[in-house]
Structure 1
Amino acid sequence: MKKNSPDSRRRVLLAAAAAPSLMLLGGLGLPAVARAQASGFPAKPVRIVVPFSPGGPTDLMARAIGKIMTASMGQPVIIDNKPGGGGVIGLGEVAHQPADGYTMVFPSILAVTNPALMPSYPFDTERDFSGVTVVGFIPHALVVSPQFPAHDLAGLVSMARRQPDSLAYGSSGNGTSAHLAGAVFAKRAGIRVTHVPYRGAGPAVQDLMSGQIQFMFLDMSSALPQIRAGKLRALAVASAERFAGLPEVPTVAEQGYLGFGIHGWYGLLVRAGTPRPVVERLYTEVKRALDSQEVRRLFQAQGIQPGGMPPAEFDQLIHSDLALWKKAIAELRIQLQ
């Protein structure tokens, strides 16, 4: 994040976007026609496209937020699941809708990793979409079975160095944040381990518990219940800071890998060109939902850290993450076919 405040960044960005020849209203640097388009928003139901199957973290977040937005906006917020293609199907649904704010998409960090992984990725995330806000950050934990002999990263790395390729780590699929976190960690630690992709986190966790694989980076919403039940043990947290729900577990960086931080996020996007006042209205409504006790309780139970950054700041995060993962994926030579 930049050191200057979010408010100052928003003012700079909005001022830079203003064109002198346009008739401006409200100090927003936006043409009057855009203000007029947004004055009655929303005048019909708003749709949130969730590019994943029902029942997962994204779906739960979307439904909780949609319920509160429906009450506050006076229009139904409809959740529409469009799974498949690592989020591509859901993103495509919004990319072909009018830029009016009535259709949002709720992708994960795959929106910034997939462009570097897929040679023929059909979208330009920055050109085709605009950020509304990050809804939630989901930290990852490096987890092992309770029977695993190592109790910290030094022990795991020592085992891997003694017997290269003897340890396997799982993920919920090629190109997922769990896969990339494992690959980045192996490179930083200088170890050779085998990646085993699964179709979802569930089968990977089952094989981890049974000893078929030795470790994995698991998102906290999936890891926390298993850790609390004693079925998995956390050796480290992959985020830059310790996770409040597991304060006793040190970060990867604290255990000798300075600068290591893998964050997963889920955010709401609209089609690029959506009038800025509409984007700001959507942001205000989502932020209100995120600040509610109902949503905060749900997020805490799921191991999700609430987001809420303003649209301009989310756009900056997308820009920096695209550059970060493009470089990392190229160095790791990972590519999806």
Structure 2
Amino acid sequence: MLKTTSALASRRHMLKAAGLVIGAAAASHLGIKRASAASYPERPIKIIVPFAAAGPTDIMARILAQGLGSALGGNIIVENKPGAGGNIGIGYAAHAAADGYTLLLVSTAYVVNPSLYARIPYDPYKDFAPITELGSTPNSIMVTPRLNINSIAELIARARANPGELNWASPGAGTTPHLSGEFLKIVGGIEMTHVPFNGAAPAIQALLAGTTQVAVSALPPVLPFAQSGEIKVLAVTSANRWPGLPDVPTMVELGYKDFTAETAQFLFAPAATAPDIVEKLSAKSMEVLKTPSVVEQLRVNGYEVTAAGSQALRKRLEVEIPKWRDIISKAGIKPV
């Protein structure tokens, strides 16, 4: 059984705080007049990112905001609301005014959290209107070079020889990097001490500082440090090698045939947002995502563009939510 309950339980007080934030946002529903797509946007749009700045979701949001703002002829502001595995920011956005001026850009946490927490401040099926599936990135398993480990085999050997001695960082309990790290522990038959953070950026900083010796994160914020040699990436969890790290093997190559896991990014609006505005946002987002310069910018930052529209995203939710529920149940992780 995976030992994750204590890490998740430590976030209960953060969810209580989320209720206060959500209550304030919900009040803004009163008196809202729906905007029309023809005149939209007439003022700045805010994209809520429920994780820390400089993490993979934040990177995607800032690249998209620049292009989408130009495509819409308006300004887009990215606002980070991290905490509780993403629940604080997701809950805030769920109860924001449904006028098209508050959007949510979120990772796979959106479909994982309903199975990790007994109570979450949003209904993944009812509280949001899907806009676009944006892109995905593999997770990366990495170490500090000071550990003098150069392969997954060496990491497993060190961890087996010293059970529980190595600390490993993740962007938070229940994220796909966290679940990837737990899967590594299972397939390797090893014990390491999990140290969850409120996003990939602080997890990577802990690795750079030597607070932890190992980390698992989505690829985007890792690439600059991997390319500079400050971090040693031992493997990625995609089916194929990442072009920007051609010498780094996949876990599949290393003999772990079922070890694939990606962190996807999605764009949503509050559920009652006018359908014509949702349609406009979806069309403009996909237009931006298919621009060669944006595709290259995202690739350089560790993302593969998927650019699927609102209906495709809705269908993905219907598959992903029960899929992760089954994985988490089989892993023995109990909701808190």
Measured against the shorter chain, the TM-score band is 0.7 to 0.9
Q: Which residue of 2 aligns with 1:144?
A: 143
TM-score, scaled relative to structure 1: 0.77
| Residue in structure 1 matched with residue 158 of structure 2 by the alignment | 159
Q: Which residue of 2 aligns with 1:84?
A: 83
1:205-224 to 2 correspondences below 5 Å: 205-209=204-208, 212-224=211-223
Q: In the superposition, relative to structure 1, how do residues 203 and 287 fare at CA in structure 2: closer, same or farther (>3 Å)?
A: closer
Measured after TM superposition, the shift of residue 53 of structure 1 is 4.3
Q: CA RMSD in A?
A: 2.9
User: Matches of residues 184-333 of structure 1 in structure 2 within 5 Å?
Assistant: 184-202=183-201, 204-209=203-208, 212-333=211-332
8 Å Cα contact 2:133-2:306 kept in structure 1 = yes
Residue 320 to residue 289, structure 1, CA distance change in 2 (3 Å): same
Give 1:252 deviation, angstroms. Answer: 0.8
Whether the 8 Å CA contact 2:59–2:220 is kept in 1: the answer is no
- Would the aligned equivalents of 1:240 and 1:259 in 2 still touch at CA under 8 Å? no
Q: 1:202-238 CA distances to partner (integer Å, 9 max, x unpaired)?
A: 5543553565533221221222111111122121101
Task: Name the TM-score, length of structure 2 as normaliser.
Answer: 0.78
The 2-side partners of 1:103 and 1:151 are apart by 44
1:159-208 per-residue CA deviation (whole Å, 9 max, x = no partner) reads 33344334332223323332221012212333332212245445543553
Aligned mates of 2:265, 2:122 — CA distance in 1: 18
Q: Give 2:116's aligned residue.
A: 117
Partner of 1:135: 134
Q: Contact 2:107–2:263 at 8 Å: present in 1 too?
A: yes
- Summarize the Cα distance change of 1:204–1:83 in structure 2 as closer, same or farther, 3 Å threshold: closer
1:44 counterpart SS class: coil
Compare 97-106 and 172-181 and name the one that shifted more: 97-106
Decide which moves more: 209-218 or 280-289.
209-218
Amino acid corresponding to residue 40 of structure 2 in structure 1: P
Q: Distance in 1 between matches of 2:41 and 2:194?
A: 49
Q: Distance in 2 between matches of 1:195 and 1:295?
A: 35
Cα distance in 2, alignment partners of residues 55 and 223 from structure 1 = 10
Q: Secondary structure, in 3 states, of the residue corresponding to 1:250?
A: coil
User: Contact conserved, 1:174 with 1:336, CA < 8 A, in 2?
Assistant: no
2:95 matched residue in structure 1: 96
Provide the residue aligned with 1:44 in structure 2: 42
Q: Percent identity?
A: 33
Mark the CA change 1:62 to 1:209 in structure 2 (over 3 Å): closer, same or farther: closer
Unaligned runs of 5+ in 2: 1-33
8 A Cα contact 1:101 1:270, kept in partner: yes
Which blocks of at least 5 consecutive residues in structure 1 are unaligned? 1-35
Q: Which residue of 1 aligns with 2:28?
A: none
Q: CA deviation at 1:147?
A: 4.1
Residues 100-156 of structure 1, C-alpha deviation per residue, up to 9 Å, x if partnerless?
544321112211122111111122212222321122323221112224344322332
Instruction: Indicate how the Cα distance of structure 1 residues 167 and 87 shifts in structure 2: closer, same or farther if over 3 A, else same.
Output: closer
Cα distance change of structure 1 residues 81 and 204 upon mapping to structure 2, 3 Å threshold: closer
State whether residues 175 and 336 of structure 1, in contact with CA within 8 Å, keep that contact through their aligned partners in structure 2.
no
Please state how far the C-alpha of 1:256 moved relative to its aligned partner. Answer: 1.3
- Secondary structure of the equivalent of 2:266? strand
Q: In structure 2, what is the Cα distance between the partners aligned to 1:55 and 1:250?
A: 25
